[in-house]
Amino acid sequence: MSSATISLSFNDFARTADSGEPLHTLRIALLYGEQLRIPSSSEWLRILAGKAWVSFAGEDHVLEEGEELRLPRAKGGAVISPLGRGSLFFEVK
């Protein structure tokens, strides 16, 4: 299986000019074999469908549909990918 690297920057997604706080969540879909680095400026993530592996600050977490996780301001952010052969749908703020 070949892999491709895609650079996605959402550090400044929907931020206000005054407070710098995110206004909205960003919904993302990952397919089998894909992974995404979530920037350390993100506050939390929620699994909408599928099962996820999330790693940050040397800790690994497994999340299922409906579960959410607060993200610490860890250096390097967090990495998320689908578990199993299915797709993963989640939102991050």
Q: Which amino acid is at 39?
A: P
Q: Tokens 């996605």 map to which residue?
A: 8
Dump the DSSP string for 29-73: EE-TT--EEEPTT--EEEEEESEEEEEETTEEEEEETT-EEE---
Determine the average pLDDT of the residues in 53-73: 93
Which DSSP category does 9 fall into?
Answer: -
d(CA 51, CA 37): 17
Q: Please, which pLDDT band fits residue 10 given cuts at 50, 70 and 90?
A: low
Dump pLDDT digits (tens) for 39-58.
888 889 999 999 999 999 88
> Domain residue spans in the chain?
34-92
pLDDT of 20: 54
pLDDT of 19: 54
The model's pTM: 0.75
- What CATH topology corresponds to 34-92? Jelly Rolls (2.60.120)
pLDDT of 75: 82
Sequence-distant (≥ 6) Cβ neighbours of residue 11 within 8 angstroms = 39, 41
